[in-house]
């Protein structure tokens, strides 16, 4: 699995080029957004098209995308590609997780000044099931904002991997008590990462393969999690330009 890390800040000429690679529907949807949000959305979607086009050998404009029942984007079957991808963004940064090895999910949150202890206290009941509240919160008194952010991105990555949408489902999956965390640097060599198995409160909610989860520590107040079936994966974090040049690190 490869995670592309990219900035959503681009020069005006680059922004104009990215607008032109969007589909008509994507352009129309972008116009409904506020200007600042619109610019980030265009850069994220445009660079996703550039990246996928490079990987499957077509121009960005020719990348055909479709969506699942709950809105998760996929490459169209027209491309006959095994590539799976998922996108997340926070503030001025986005990440794109890409793999040939089955469904994946990624989530990103950059720490803000509003992520304080009061915020953590209010968020905990919306993220944790009753048993998790007992395990994580009541047993320890309280969780820090950083711990809440870790659990939040981990659960969202899991739900994005299985493609059910987030909605009110955060409390349906139970994280292991000790989430694995791997410290990684952008453009370093790929590493093997252990994935911890996620338990679903309703066993019928997600039949089949078990989903594994890990946190990726990039420092800089960035909380990042990736999820996929299995217990181990080979993972690399790459800059956008590096992937365009070298392709994916797989495993």
> Looking at residue 244, what is its pLDDT?
86
> Looking at residue 59, what is its pLDDT?
97
Task: Identify the weakest region by mean pLDDT among 64-78, 113-127, 196-210.
Answer: 196-210
What is the percent of the chain with per-residue pLDDT over 70, rounded to a whole number? 93
> Looking at residue 152, what is its pLDDT?
95
pLDDT at 205 over 60: no
pLDDT in tens, 79-117: 989 999 999 999 999 999 999 888 999 999 999 999 999
In CATH, 2-7+82-246 is 3.90.470.20: yes
- Supply the pTM of this predicted model: 0.91
> Looking at residue 114, what is its pLDDT?
96
What is the percent of the chain with per-residue pLDDT over 90, rounded to a whole number? 68
pLDDT in tens, 43-75: 999 999 999 999 999 999 999 999 988 889 999
Q: What is the mean pLDDT of residues 146-156?
A: 95
> pLDDT class for 36, splitting at 50, 70, 90?
confident
pLDDT at 204 over 60: no
> Looking at residue 250, what is its pLDDT?
60
Mean pLDDT score of the chain: 90
> Looking at residue 227, what is its pLDDT?
96
* Cβ-contact 106, 20 below 8 angstroms: no
């Amino acid at each position: 699995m490869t995670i592309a890390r990219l900035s959503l800040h681009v020069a005006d000429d680059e922004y104009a080029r990215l607008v032109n690679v969007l589909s008509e529907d994507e352009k129309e949807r972008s116009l409904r957004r506020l200007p600042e949000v619109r610019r980030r959305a265009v850069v994220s979607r445009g660079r996703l098209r550039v990246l996928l086009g490079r990987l499957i050998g077509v121009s960005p404009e020719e990348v055909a995308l479709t969506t699942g029942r709950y809105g998760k984007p996929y490459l169209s079957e027209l491309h006959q590609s095994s590539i799976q991808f998922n996108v997340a963004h926070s503030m001025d940064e986005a990440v794109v997780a890409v793999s040939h090895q089955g469904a994946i999910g990624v989530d990103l949150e950059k720490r803000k000044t509003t992520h304080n202890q009061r915020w953590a206290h209010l968020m905990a009941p919306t993220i944790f099931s009753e048993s998790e509240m007992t395990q994580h919160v009541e047993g320890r008194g309280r969780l820090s904002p950083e711990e809440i952010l870790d659990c939040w991105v981990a659960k969202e990555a899991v739900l994005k991997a299985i493609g059910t949408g987030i909605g009110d489902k955060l409390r349906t999956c139970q994280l292991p008590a000790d989430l694995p965390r791997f410290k990684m640097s952008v453009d370093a060599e790929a590493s093997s990462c252990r994935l911890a198995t996620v338990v679903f409160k309703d066993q019928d909610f997600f039949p089949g393969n078990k989903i594994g989860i890990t946190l990726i520590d990039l420092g800089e107040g960035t909380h990042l999690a990736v999820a996929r079936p299995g217990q181990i994966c080979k993972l690399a974090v790459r800059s956008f330009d590096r992937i365009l040049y070298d392709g994916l690190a797989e495993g």
